[in-house]
Amino acid sequence: MDFLPQNITTYAEAYTSPESTLLHQLNRNTRARVMAPRMLSGHMQGRLLSMISCMIRPRRILEIGTYTGYSALCLAEGLTDDGQLITIDHNEELEDFARSYWRQSPFENKINFQIGLAADILPALNETFDLVFIDADKRNNSLYFDLIFDKLRPGGFILADNVLWSGKVAEPLNPSDQDTAAVLAFNQKIQDDVRVENVLLPVRDGIMVIRKL
């Protein structure tokens, strides 16, 4: 994901509000103890997620892809007083790790962690969401978008992570690279969808911001 000039990234982080102590600990311990720490949203992206959530003041947030719970905490910062965040992940091995940090936050009782395959869980959710964050297996981005679109209120937002895919989206496609092909197809799908407005932010690994019309 580190394909932007390092000096620009360092400068941008220096002029971004710092993580809380709890988020800093979660960030550090994820990198020290958990496999594939590059999946963590991290400082700057986490502050962006928090900023967007605080702008929207969502009552219901859906997160697809929990990992160690960092992004859930960031998104929860903008919830209304009666708000709830539902986060879905198939990896039950990280549940205790994530919950140990949620318990130290003001948001423990606002986070509903559902373990299983998102494709199985999403159709059964009887909620109307204000904000959705898609950050799971990239080959199913389009499926997740389709499954949640009718559950998103008009004017609601979807954020999709990793839409630059380490810069591979701007390179010639290797026919065997199914992940990059899926990201390219998802980006084109959103661009062509007349039901939404969208902007691709070149932050970290790319975030597609989608607003339902």
Mean pLDDT, each 10-residue run in order, the chain (213 residues): 81 96 98 92 96 98 98 98 98 96 98 98 98 97 98 98 95 95 98 98 95 98
Q: What pLDDT, on a 0 to 100 scale, did the predictor assign at position 4?
A: 77
59 domain-assigned: yes
Give the residue from 201, 127, 98, 113 showing the smallest Cα distance to 159.
201
Give the global pTM: 0.96
Residue-range definition of the domain harbouring residue 24:
6-212
pLDDT confidence of residue 132: 99
The span from the CA of 193 to the CA of 64, in Å, is 21
Domain assignment present for residue 1? The answer is: no
Strand-by-strand arrangement of the 60-64 sheet: 111-115, 84-89, 60-64, 129-134, 152-161, 207-212, 196-201
CATH of the domain at 102: 3.40.50.150
The number of distinct structural domains making up the chain is: 1
